[in-house]
Chain A
Amino acid sequence: MYQVGDLVKELSDKHGHARESLMPILQAIVQKHNYLTDEAMVEVARVLDISAAEVYGTASFYTFLDTQEKGKYVIRVCKTITCSMKGKSDIIHTIEEILKIKVGETTPDKQFSLIETNCIGWCHKAPAILINELPYTELTPEKVSEIIKDYMQK
C-alpha cells in the first residue's frame, strides 16, 4: 500500500481535469507506484468529478493498469507463439527459480512481480520480456538470470 497524497492533484494540474486526462493520470500513478490502489482510484474519481466505477472500469480494462499489488519491478514474459516456440518456458522456469515465485506472484519483499503477457513486438528476437518499460530480447536462461540478478542488486 502507498499513500496517494498530493500526487493526483499534481497530475491533474499537469494533464487537466477532462475525461481524456484519465488515462495519462492512471498511467503516471502506475509508473510511480506500479499499481492502482482503491484509494488512488477513488481520489482520481473525486478530482476528475466522475464516478469511481468509471475509473475502475477503465483501469481494469487495461492489463498495464494493474489494480492488484505489484512489485517495484514487473517482469512480463511474452507468451505469444514465436516466444513460446523459442523457449519462453525455460525463461519462466529460470526466473521462478531465482525469485522463488510462480507466474502471477510477487516476491515477499515487493521487489518483483512475474507475469505472462501477449505479444510485445520482438518476435524476431524471441524470447523477449519487459521489465517495467524496458525490453530484453534474444534471451537464454543464462542471460535472463544475469539480468534478474542485476536488478536484485539495484
Chain B
Amino acid sequence: MENKGLTKVDLIFEKIDSHEVLAKGFKMSSDEIIQEMLDSGLKGRGGAGFPTGMKWKFTAAEKNPEKYIVCNADEGEPGTFKDREILDRVSNKVHGGMAIAGKAIGAKKGIVYLRGEYSYLLPKLMIELESFHKMINEIGYDFNIEYRMGSGAYICGEESALFESIEGKRGEPRNKPPYPTVSGVFHKPTSINNVETLVTAMMIIQHGAKNFIQYGTKDSRGSKVFSVSGDTPTPGIFELELGMTVQQFVNEFGDGDTKAVQVGGASGFCVPRKKFAETIIGFEGVPTGGSMKLFNSSRSMYNVLHNYLDFFTEESCGQCTPCRVGCQQLLLGVEKVKKGEAASTYLNELMKLADTMKIAAKCGLGQSVGNAFKSIVGNFKEEIIY
C-alpha cells in the first residue's frame, strides 16, 4: 500500500484569478474537459467518491437540451463543516467549477442547494454571485446560477432527496435507477457535485491533471479538506494530501490519548487505536467526506453510538420501513442492552438488522447506519454492554 505520510497543502483556499481559469476552461471542448477530469482521477468529495469525470461523461451523453448542474451544499454530516468555509472564503471557485461543469455536460443552468443552517452566508454569496455573473458575461459565456435553500433536513444531502426538495416537495429519496445523470432535478439530466469537488475541478483546469496527480495515491488522487473536531488541541479545517494513515493523522491532531477516530461522520466508520497504523484515510481504506472526529479515553463509546443513532432516528425521512423502523430498533436495542433488559447476545441480532438495512434501505442514509453501528459495537463491545 502506498503511504504518503501527512502533508499539509494549500490549493483549495488559494486565491486565484477566476477570469483567467474560466477563459481557459471555456476554450476547451466538452470532451477535453471531461478527459482532463478522467485523467485527474478526481473522485467526488462529498463522501461517496464517484469519479467526477464519469459523472460528467454520462450527463454529457444525454440528448436532452435542458440539463442542470447542481451544487450540493447541504453539508449535514455530523463533523463536517468544510463546505461552509469553502463557500465563505472562495465562492468564486465554487461558481467557477459549476460553469466548467456546465460547459462539460452542456448545461446552461446551475443550482446551489445550500443548507438552511448556513443561510447567514446568503447575503454575502448573493453579492459574489452577481460579480460572477458579470464576469462570465464579459468572457461571453452563457451560464446562470441560482441558490435554493434547505430547511433543516439532513436527508436532503442525498442527491435525489435534494432534487425533490428543489422541486418543492418532501425530501424523500427516489429509487435509483434512473440515476441523476439521466433523470435528476425536474427529471432532466443532472450532474450533482459536492462544493469541494467543483472547486477541485476548477483547480484541475488551472493546474492540469498532470500536476494534480502528483498529490495523493493511485486510488485517492489529490488533496482534500478535512474537518477536524472532538478531542484535539487543534480543531479546525485542514487541507491534507490523501493517502496518510489514521496513525499519522492522530500523531498530528490527537491529544496524546486518542482511543478512536470516527472517519466520515455518523455514517462513516469508527477506527479503534489498534487499527490506526494499518488504516489508510482514502478510498483504499476508510473513505471520508472530510469528517474526522477524535475521541480520547475519557469518552464513552456508548454515548457516541447513542448520539449517532438518535441522530439517524430523527433524520430518517421515514419513507422506507427498513430505515424508519431499523433506526428506532437499533437505538432501543442498545438502550436495552445497556440497562440489562436484554442479554448482550442481543447485539448480534442488532448487527444482523444493520446488515439488512444495508441491503433493504432505499437510500444511502439507511444503508450506512450500519457502518458506525457495526464498527463501534464491533470494536467497543464492552463499553456498549457495561
Q: Do A and B associate with each other?
A: yes
Of A98-106, A128-136, A141-149, the stretch lying at the interface with chain B is A128-136
In the complex, the chain B residue whose C-beta lies closest to that of A50 is: B168
Q: Contact at A27–B151, with CB atoms within 8 Å?
A: yes
Chain B residue nearest in CB terms to A82 = B229
Alpha-carbon gap, A85 to B300, bound state (A): 10
Give the A interface residue count (CB, 8 A).
37
Do A121 and B169 contact each other (CB < 8 Å), given the known contacts A23-B151, A27-B149?
no
8 A Cβ contacts from B297-333 to A = 299, 303-304, 307-308, 311, 314-315, 317
- Confirm or deny: B230 has a beta carbon within 8 angstroms of a beta carbon on chain A: yes
- B285 touches A (CB below 8 Å): no
Asked if A19 is an interface residue, CB under 8 A from chain B, the answer is yes
**B117 and A120: CB pair below 8 A?**
yes
Spot the interface stretch: B31-39, B76-84, B100-108, B134-142. Answer: B76-84
Q: Please tell me if B256 contacts chain A, counting CB pairs below 8 Å.
A: no
Does A94 touch B at the CB level, under 8 Å?
no
Main secondary structure of the interface of B (DSSP, over half): mixed
Beyond A19-B169, A20-B166, A81-B78, whether A117 also contacts B149 by CB under 8 A is: no
Chain B residues closer than 8 Å to A19, beta-carbon distance: 167-169
Report the bound CA distance from A22 to B168 in whole Å: 5
| Cβ proximity bits A114-126 to B, threshold 8 Å, 1 near / 0 not | 0001111111111
Q: Does B340 belong to the interface (CB within 8 Å)?
A: no
- Interface flag for B148 (CB, 8 Å): yes
Q: Which residues of A contact B (CB under 8 A)?
A: 18-24, 26-27, 30, 57-58, 61-65, 79-82, 84-85, 117-126, 130, 133-135
- Residue positions of B touching A, CB distance < 8 A: 75-81, 84, 115-120, 148-154, 165-172, 186, 227-231, 235-237, 266, 293, 299, 303-304, 307-308, 311, 314-315, 317
Q: Which 10 A-B pairs have the closest CB atoms?
A: A22-B168, A62-B151, A123-B229, A124-B235, A64-B152, A63-B152, A64-B151, A61-B170, A121-B81, A119-B78
Q: What are 15 A-B contacts with C-beta separation under 8 Å?
A: A20-B186, A23-B151, A24-B149, A58-B170, A61-B172, A81-B78, A81-B79, A81-B230, A85-B230, A118-B76, A118-B311, A123-B230, A123-B293, A133-B119, A134-B120
